[in-house]
C-alpha cells in the first residue's frame, strides 16, 4: 500500500472509504510491514467501544463556544462524524507521548473546525483531539472530567 491510497473500513455500522495518510518525519510513500500491520489493525477496531469518548469530545468543543450539547449524536450521520482518513505515524523517534495510528473524521454540523482524531498506540486507545500531524498532542486531560 502507498500513502494516499484508499481503503474500506466499517465504522458505526457504515462502510467507509478513507484515505491512508502517512504523517511524521519520514518521507516514504510506501507503507512498511509495520505500518501495514497498523493499518490492518485499525481497520478491525470496533469504534462503537469509543463512541462515548467521541460524543464527550464533541460536547466539550460545543460547550467552549456555547453551542448545544447532546448525549445522542448519531455518529453514522456524515454531518456529525465523517471518517476521511487513517493517519499512520511514520517516525524514527517514537516516544511515549506519540500515537502510532489514528482515525480522522470531520464534522459539518458541530464546532469541530479541526476534525476529530481518535488515536491508538500499542493496540490501545491513546487519545482524542483535533487534527495533529505529529500525533502527540491530545486533549483528553482537558475534558476527562467534563460532564456532558
Q: Per-residue pLDDT tens for 43-65? A: 999 999 999 999 998 888 888 88
What does the angle CA 97 – CA 35 – CA 78 come to, to the nearest 5 degrees?
80
Contact (Cβ atoms closer than 8 angstroms) between residue 107 and residue 120: no
Task: Please measure the distance between the N-terminal and C-terminal CA atoms of the chain and give it in whole angstroms.
Answer: 40
Residue with the three cell numbers 495518510: 21
Reply yes or no on whether the pLDDT at 146 is more than 60. Answer: no
More confident position, 60 or 75:
75
Q: Per-residue pLDDT tens for 87-125? A: 998 776 677 888 999 999 998 776 567 789 999 999 999
Reported as a pLDDT band with limits 50, 70 and 90, residue 148 is: very low
Query: Residue 29 carries which DSSP code?
Result: S
Which residues have a Cβ under 8 Å from the Cβ of 33 and sit 6 or more positions away?
Answer: none
Contact (Cβ atoms closer than 8 angstroms) between residue 104 and residue 51: no
Model pTM score: 0.89
Half-sphere exposure of 1 (CA within 13 A, CB side): 22
Q: What percent of the chain has pLDDT over 90?
A: 48
Amino acid at each position: 500500500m502507498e500513502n494516499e491510497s484508499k481503503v474500506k473500513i466499517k465504522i458505526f455500522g457504515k462502510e467507509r472509504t478513507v484515505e491512508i495518510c502517512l504523517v511524521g518525519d519520514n518521507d516514504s510513500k510506501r507503507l512498511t510491514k509495520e505500518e501495514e500491520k497498523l493499518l490492518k489493525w485499525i481497520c478491525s477496531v470496533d469504534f462503537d467501544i469509543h463512541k462515548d469518548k467521541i460524543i464527550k469530545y464533541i460536547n466539550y468543543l460545543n460547550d467552549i463556544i456555547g453551542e448545544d450539547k447532546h448525549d445522542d449524536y448519531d455518529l453514522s450521520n456524515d454531518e456529525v462524524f465523517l471518517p476521511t482518513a487513517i493517519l499512520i505515524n511514520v517516525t524514527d523517534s517514537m516516544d511515549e507521548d506519540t500515537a502510532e495510528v489514528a482515525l480522522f473524521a470531520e464534522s459539518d454540523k458541530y464546532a469541530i473546525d479541526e476534525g476529530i482524531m481518535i488515536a491508538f498506540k500499542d493496540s490501545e486507545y491513546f487519545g482524542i483531539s483535533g487534527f495533529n500531524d505529529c500525533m502527540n498532542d491530545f486533549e483528553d486531560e482537558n475534558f476527562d472530567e467534563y460532564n456532558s
